[in-house]
Amino acid sequence: QVQLVESGGGLVQAGGSLRLSCAASERTFSNYIMGWFRQAPGKEREFVAVISRFGGPTYYADSVKGRFTISRDNAKNTVYLQMNSLKLEDTAVYYCAAKRPPITTNTDEYAYWGQGTPVTVSS
């Protein structure tokens, strides 16, 4: 059982930056594909970014490409999401998730989820 705990969310002005972190309890963290997803009020949970076991390849939703960067530190059992040039439409609860290979952007295929961290972008 993999336990995931997100942190780093908060209130930020449009154009600003935030860095989310997700710490995993699993000693074999590098066995897992790690993804970030988000859910805005009244909307379904959607894919944001995913990273393979050792840092590459990575994939991004078109809406965040060029603004967000996913990375991981297997020595710290942590995955990150650097979010730059934030927009109002980035407001959502952000979740990290884990699965065993293969890599996928499909929300339904992720077995383990964190509790989420809220991000609010204001004008």
Kindly state the tokens that stand for 32: 């897992």
**pLDDT single digits (tens) 18-56:** 999 999 997 889 999 999 999 999 999 999 999 999 998
**pLDDT single digits (tens) 84-122:** 999 999 999 999 999 999 999 999 999 999 999 999 999
At residue 57, the pLDDT reads 95
Residues 6 or more apart from 116 whose CB is under 8 A from it? 6, 39, 93, 94, 95
**pLDDT single digits (tens) 55-89:** 989 999 999 999 999 999 999 999 999 999 999 99
Reduce the DSSP state of residue 31 to 3 states and report it. Answer: helix
Residue with the two structure tokens 């790690």: 34
Angle formed at CA 59 by CA 51 and CA 50, multiple of 5 degrees: 35
